[in-house]
Structure 1
Amino acid sequence: MSTDWAKRQAPSLAEIEALAHAAFADLPREFRTLCPGVIVHVEDFPDDETLTEMDCASEFDLLGLFRGIGLAQAGEVSTGQMPNQIWLYRRPLLDYWAEHEETLGHLVTHVLVHEIGHHFGLSDRDMAGIEARADD
Structure 2
Amino acid sequence: MTITHDQLAALKAPDLEIFEAIANDAYSRLPEDFRKLCAGLVIQVDDFPTEEVLKEMGAETDFDLLGLFQGIGLPFRSEQLAAAMPNMIWLYRRPILDYWAEHDETLGAVIAHVLVHEIGHHFGLSDADMEAIERRAE
Residue of structure 1 in register with 2:29 after alignment = 26
1:127 aligns with 2:126: yes
| Mapped partners of 1:116, 1:55: distance in 2 | 20
Task: Quote the sequence identity (%).
Answer: 52
Q: Which amino acid aligns with 2:126?
A: M
Kindly indicate whether the alpha-carbon contact (under 8 Å) linking 1:70 and 1:118 is maintained by their aligned counterparts in 2: no
Larger helix proportion, structure 1 or 2?
Answer: 2
Residue of structure 1 in register with 2:3 after alignment = 2
Kindly indicate whether the alpha-carbon contact (under 8 Å) linking 2:37 and 2:75 is maintained by their aligned counterparts in 1: no
State the Cα RMSD in Å: 2.2
Residue of structure 2 in register with 1:99 after alignment = 102
Structure 2, unpaired ranges of 5+: 134-138
The alpha-carbon deviation at position 100 of structure 1 amounts to: 1.1
| Mapped partners of 1:98, 1:130: distance in 2 | 26
Report the number of matched residues: 130
Kindly indicate whether the alpha-carbon contact (under 8 Å) linking 2:68 and 2:90 is maintained by their aligned counterparts in 1: yes
Structure 1 residues 69 and 33 mapped into 2: Cα distance closer, same or farther (>3 Å)?
A: closer
The alpha-carbon deviation at position 73 of structure 1 amounts to: 3.0
| Runs of 4 or more consecutive aligned structure 1 residues displaced over 3 Å after TM superposition | 129-134
Q: Which amino acid aligns with 2:30?
A: L
Residue of structure 1 in register with 2:19 after alignment = 16
The alpha-carbon deviation at position 132 of structure 1 amounts to: 7.0
Structure 1, unpaired ranges of 5+: none
TM-score by length of 1: 0.83
